[in-house]
C-alpha cells in the first residue's frame, strides 16, 4: 500500500511525525509532499529535524499568496505528483490551504482521499480554516476523526458511513515529546529554570489583520504583571510592523517561533497560556496548563470543561482571565491514548480499495 501525505504548514508537520513513524513501523510505503506554504527555517525545517521526520519526497516551493493564488498554485503543482505516484490514499491533514488543494486535486483525479482531523468545526464562516475543513470533509472518502464531538459533527452532516474515530495524532506527539524533554532538556530562548510566565502566541487573521484589534491585544499582554513570552509567528511580525505596533513592549519578551521540543518544554514552565492557536489549546490542556483563548469559539470544546480553557475574545478581559487560579478538577482523556497514528495507518490499510 502506498500513502501520499500532503503537508505545508507548521501544525501539519507535527501531525505528520507520528503518521510517518507508524507507516514505517507497519512497512507501508509513504510518500511525503510538502507544498512549501511555510518555508522559513523555524516554521518548517526545524520540525523535520527535531521530530525526526524523513525529508519530503517532493517540495513544491509554493510559498505565500492570496488564498486563490496560493491554493491554485498548489493544485497545479500537486496534479502531476499525484499522477506520478498514483497512491492508494492521498492523506490530507487539518485545515490549511494545503489541505484544500490536496482534497480538490485528489477528487478530480479519482484518487481515494482520507482526511485526518476530520469533523472539527468552529461554526465561524469567517475563518479560512473553517472553509478548508468543511470542503475537505465533504470531498473525502474517509474521514478520520480525532474525537467523539468531531464524529457527531460528521454524522449530522450525513458523513457517518465514511467516518472512523481514530483519536488525535497530535496527542501522540505531545506525550512523547513531553517525556523526552523532561528526561533531556533542550536549549531554548526560554530557560528551563524560568517559571511562572505566560506563554503567548497570536496569528489568526481575525486578531492580526486589523490595526486596532491587534494593538489592543498587544497592549493587554504588555500590561500583565508577569513576564509574557510571545513566540511570534511571521504573520504577526509582518502585520505589527506594517501597523507600527511595537511587540516588544512592557511585560512582553518576543521570541522567534519555537521548535516543537522547545514549545513543549516552555509549557512545562508556564503558569498560563494566551493563544489563538488550535493546537496549543490542546497541548496546554494535555499538559495541564490553564489556557485563555483569544477567540469567540474553539474547535477543541473538550478543553473548556472545568475551565482549563476559557474563551476571551475581548482584550479588556485578558488580564482577569489569565490571572484566574488553575483548576483543580481532574482532566478526562477526550483525545485518545497516544496511539492515533497507528490506528490511522491500520484504518487506511483495512479500507484500501481493491
Residue closer to ligand UD1 by CB (options 96, 171) is 96
Spatial strand order of the sheet with 29-34 comes to 58-59, 29-34, 2-7, 89-93, 113-116, 142-145, 163-165
Residue closer to ligand UD1 by CB (options 39, 243) is 39
Catalytic pick among 30, 34, 115, 203:
203
Residue closer to ligand UD1 by CB (options 94, 112) is 94
Residue closer to ligand UD1 by CB (options 130, 302) is 130
Q: How far is the CB of 109 from ligand UD1 (least distance, A)?
A: 22
Which residue in 330, 335, 321, 317 sits closest to 291, CA to CA? 321
What does 278-320 look like in DSSP terms, one character per residue?
Answer: HHHHHHHHHTT--EEE-SS--S-GGGGGGGSEEE--SGGGHHH
Q: How far is the CB of 210 from ligand UD1 (least distance, A)?
A: 15
Phi, psi of 106 (to 5 degrees): -65, -40
Annotated catalytic, 115? no
Cell (9 digits) for 12:
501539519
Handedness of CA 266, 268, 269, 272 (dihedral sign): positive
Rounded Cα–Cα distance for residues 248 and 230 (Å):
9
Rounded Cα–Cα distance for residues 27 and 90 (Å):
17
Question: By the 8 A CB rule, do 323 and 1 touch?
Answer: no
**Angle, alpha carbons 290-291-292 (nearest 5°):** 135
How are beta strands 58-59 and 29-34 bridged, if at all?
A: parallel
Q: How far is the CB of 2 from ligand UD1 (least distance, A)?
A: 26
Q: How far is the CB of 55 from ligand UD1 (least distance, A)?
A: 17
Rounded Cα–Cα distance for residues 45 and 296 (Å):
32
Which residue in 221, 227, 213 sits closest to 321, CA to CA? 221
Residue closer to ligand UD1 by CB (options 29, 209) is 209
- What secondary structure letter does DSSP report for 201? E
Residue closer to ligand UD1 by CB (options 59, 251) is 59
Q: How far is the CB of 141 from ligand UD1 (least distance, A)?
A: 22
Q: Which helix (H) or strand (E) holds 145?
A: strand 142-145
- Give residues in contact with ligand UD1 (CB under 6 A): 9-11, 37-40, 43, 64, 95-97, 128-129, 203, 233-235, 238
Q: How far is the CB of 231 from ligand UD1 (least distance, A)?
A: 11
Please list the active-site residues.
Answer: 203
Amino acid at each position: 500500500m502506498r500513502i501520499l501525505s500532503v503537508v505545508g504548514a507548521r501544525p501539519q508537520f507535527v501531525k505528520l511525525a507520528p503518521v510517518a513513524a507508524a507507516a514505517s513501523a507497519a512497512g507501508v510505503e509513504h510518500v511525503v509532499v510538502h507544498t512549501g506554504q511555510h518555508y522559513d527555517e523555524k516554521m518548517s525545517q526545524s520540525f523535520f529535524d527535531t521530530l525526526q521526520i524523513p525529508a519530503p519526497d517532493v517540495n513544491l516551493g509554493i510559498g505565500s499568496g492570496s488564498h486563490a493564488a496560493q491554493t491554485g498554485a498548489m493544485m497545479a503543482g500537486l496534479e502531476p505528483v499525484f499522477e506520478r505516484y498514483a497512491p492508494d490514499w492521498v492523506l490530507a491533514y487539518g485545515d490549511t490551504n494545503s489541505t484544500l488543494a490536496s482534497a480538490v486535486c485528489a477528487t478530480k483525479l479519482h484518487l481515494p482521499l482520507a482526511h485526518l482531523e476530520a469533523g472539527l468545526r468552529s461554526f465561524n464562516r469567517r475563518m479560512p480554516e473553517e472553509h478548508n475543513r468543511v470542503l475537505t470533509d465533504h470531498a473525502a472518502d474517509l474521514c478520520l476523526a480525532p474525537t467523539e464531538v468531531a464524529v457527531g459533527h460528521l454524522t449530522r452532516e450525513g458523513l457517518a458511513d465514511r467516518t472512523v474515530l481514530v483519536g488525535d495524532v497530535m496527542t501522540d506527539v505531545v506525550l512523547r515529546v513531553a517525556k523526552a524533554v523532561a528526561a533531556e532538556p533542550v536549549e531554548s530562548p526560554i530557560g528551563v529554570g524560568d517559571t511562572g510566565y505566560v506563554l503567548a502566541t497570536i496569528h489568526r487573521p481575525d486578531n492580526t489583520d486589523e490595526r486596532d484589534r491587534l494593538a489592543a491585544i498587544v497592549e493587554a499582554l504588555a500590561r500583565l504583571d508577569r513576564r509574557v513570552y510571545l513566540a511570534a509567528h511571521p504573520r504577526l511580525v509582518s502585520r505589527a510592523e506594517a501597523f507600527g505596533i511595537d511587540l516588544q513592549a512592557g511585560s512582553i519578551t518576543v521570541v522567534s517561533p519555537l521548535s516543537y521540543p522547545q514549545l513543549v518544554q516552555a509549557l512545562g514552565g508556564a503558569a498560563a497560556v494566551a493563544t489563538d492557536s488550535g493546537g496549543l489549546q490542546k497541548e496546554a490542556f494535555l499538559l495541564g496548563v490553564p489556557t485563555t483563548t483569544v477567540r469567540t469559539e474553539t474547535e477543541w470544546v473538550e478543553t473548556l470543561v472545568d475551565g482549563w480553557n476559557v474563551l476571551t475574545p475581548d482584550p479588556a478581559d485578558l488580564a482577569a482571565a489569565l490571572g484566574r487560579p488553575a483548576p483543580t478538577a481532574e482532566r478526562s482523556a477526550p483525545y485518545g491514548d497516544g496511539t492515533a497514528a497507528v490506528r490511522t495507518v491500520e484504518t487506511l490499510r483495512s479500507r484500501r480499495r481493491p
